[in-house]
């Protein structure tokens, strides 16, 4: 059995990454590093404010902080777009190739995500077809994440605890010694 050195969790906003990390970290004896929180701490600005200032600025910070924390012995909560940056993607591939780390994808349906993110509420027509754009983005990112052979956990109907157990079980199947992974 291999000791799990780091676990990366990725998904779209609202997929349950942070909730899953909160359940898994103590079970896996890993500290949590949330990339969005690291960006906010470093800049003193919220992610929303950074996105309003310009998506390119945010994406640059996203790549910088992903690459900074990719070698941490931790449970790293990646942003949904973290692996779109070629250097961050290559570094993650290298880390996963060591054999002591794994990637988890939190998958959520568009209808569940719409409920969680309030996309079912009335909104300005000027925003356009938000659900269809988000659905297309989700499909695109899930295809990109699939190249990393992730553990996929559907978060629509599972509680964070159930999703955590699903991940722990999948890690064991992949040959990881999961210390502290009991209930």
Average pLDDT over residues 25-40: 96
pLDDT at residue 127 is higher than 50: no
Spatial separation of the C-alpha atoms in residues 53 and 180, rounded to whole Å: 42
DSSP 8-state assignment for residue 12: S
Average pLDDT over residues 55-62: 90
pLDDT at residue 10 is higher than 60: yes
- Token digits for 137? 């983005």
Query: What separation in angstroms does the CA of 33 have from each of 43, 69, 70, 79, 117?
Result: 16, 8, 10, 11, 23
Task: Please give the pLDDT value at position 129.
Answer: 65
Q: What is the pTM of this model?
A: 0.88
Query: What separation in angstroms does the CA of 152 have from each of 8, 39, 108, 131, 164?
Result: 12, 26, 10, 22, 11
Share of the chain above pLDDT 70, in %: 89
More confident residue, 57 or 114: 57
pLDDT at residue 128 is higher than 80: no
pLDDT at residue 142 is higher than 80: yes
Contact (Cβ atoms closer than 8 angstroms) between residue 19 and residue 64: no
**Residues paired with residue 104 on neighbouring β-strands, in sequence order:** 9, 151
Provide the terminal-to-terminal Cα distance of the chain, rounded to the nearest Å: 20
pLDDT at residue 27 is higher than 90: yes
Average pLDDT over residues 168-176: 96
Average pLDDT score over the chain: 89
Backbone torsion region of residue 180, taken as left when φ is above 0, otherwise alpha when ψ lies between -120 and 50, otherwise beta: left
């Amino acid at each position: 059995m291999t000791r799990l050195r780091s676990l990366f969790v990725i998904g779209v906003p609202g997929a349950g990454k942070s909730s899953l990390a909160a359940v898994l970290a103590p079970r896996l004896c890993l500290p949590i590093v949330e990339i969005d929180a690291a960006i906010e701490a470093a800049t003193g600005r919220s992610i929303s404010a950074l996105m309003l200032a310009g998506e390119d600025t945010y994406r640059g910070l996203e790549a910088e902080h992903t690459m900074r924390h990719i070698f941490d012995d931790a449970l790293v909560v990646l942003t949904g777009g973290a692996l779109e940056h070629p250097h961050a993607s290559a570094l993650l591939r290298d880390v996963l190739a060591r054999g002591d780390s794994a990637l988890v994808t939190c998958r959520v349906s568009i209808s569940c995500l719409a409920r969680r993110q309030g996309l079912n509420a009335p909104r300005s027509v000027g925003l356009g077809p938000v659900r269809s754009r988000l659905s297309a983005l989700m499909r695109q990112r899930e295809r990109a994440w699939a190249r990393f052979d992730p553990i996929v956990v559907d978060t629509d109907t599972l509680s964070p605890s159930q999703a955590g157990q699903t991940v722990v079980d999948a890690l064991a199947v992949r040959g990881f010694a999961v210390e502290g992974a009991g209930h």
